[in-house]
Amino acid sequence: MNNYERLLLENKAWAMEKLADDPGYFERLVDIQNPEFLWIGCSDSRVPANEITGTQPGEIFVHRNIANMVVHTDLNLLSVLHYAVNVLHVKHVIVCGHYGCGGVKAAMTNHDYGIINKWLRNIKDVQRYHRDEINGMPTEEQKLNKLIELNVQEQVMNLAKTSIIQKSWKEKQYPHLHGWVYDLHDGITRPIFEMPAGTHMDPIYEFDDL
């Protein structure tokens, strides 16, 4: 049996198990998508949104990319964010990074990664904004993990800089923005930063005519 065939077999077994527990399980999910959370996480295979939060299909709307970035020209992220905020009306947006992130690690090097350079540039900028704090950490691993935390914080702030979030904050007083970091060593996710609706930021980013 090929590796990929195992996935289809496991899927069949999973579907049968769900039905055995609850015969109406799939039918109920067909017509309703009402998640309260948007998850913006890393593509890393070790950080699956549903598994680590103990949530079921239907509970989290998910966007993942290398190093859980919120890039203000990324049409994919912006489309997900717009849909989550204005159609699904999610109450919370979570940016979840993880210690040991390969994307952040790559951004700390001077290696040429081809087209990924352009993505990593966004992380290098975060490193430059916080250079002193990062360089103040004693070991390489601690420098990396500090940048991972600061990157999560910057991505939450990037969400708050969008007109999508600012308009929703003004009209509906949500969503609440969260920055979390998952630890591969113990499986625990720790909140490190948050921006409740209405949080002010550098005024240059605040739209006054939404």
Q: So which residues are the catalytic ones?
A: 42, 44, 46, 98, 101
Instruction: Figure out which of the listed residues 37, 40, 41, 44 binds Co ion, where binding follows CB under 5 A.
Output: 44
Is 84 one of the binding residues for Co ion (CB under 5 A)?
Answer: no
Q: Using alpha carbons, select from 2, 83, 102 the residue that is nearest to residue 43.
A: 102
Q: What CA–CA distance (Å, rounded) separates 102 from 42?
A: 10
Angle (CA) 180 186 187, round 5°: 50
Nearer to Co ion by Cβ, of 172 and 190: the residue is 190
Stretch of 38-46, 87-95, 111-119, 155-163 lying at the interface with Co ion (CB under 5 A): 38-46
Q: What CA–CA distance (Å, rounded) separates 170 from 184?
A: 37
Is 144 one of the binding residues for Co ion (CB under 5 A)?
Answer: no
Is 148 one of the binding residues for Co ion (CB under 5 A)?
Answer: no
Is 123 one of the binding residues for Co ion (CB under 5 A)?
Answer: no
Is 38 one of the binding residues for Co ion (CB under 5 A)?
Answer: no
Angle (CA) 103 107 108, round 5°: 120
The residues binding Co ion (CB under 5 A) are 42, 44, 101, 103
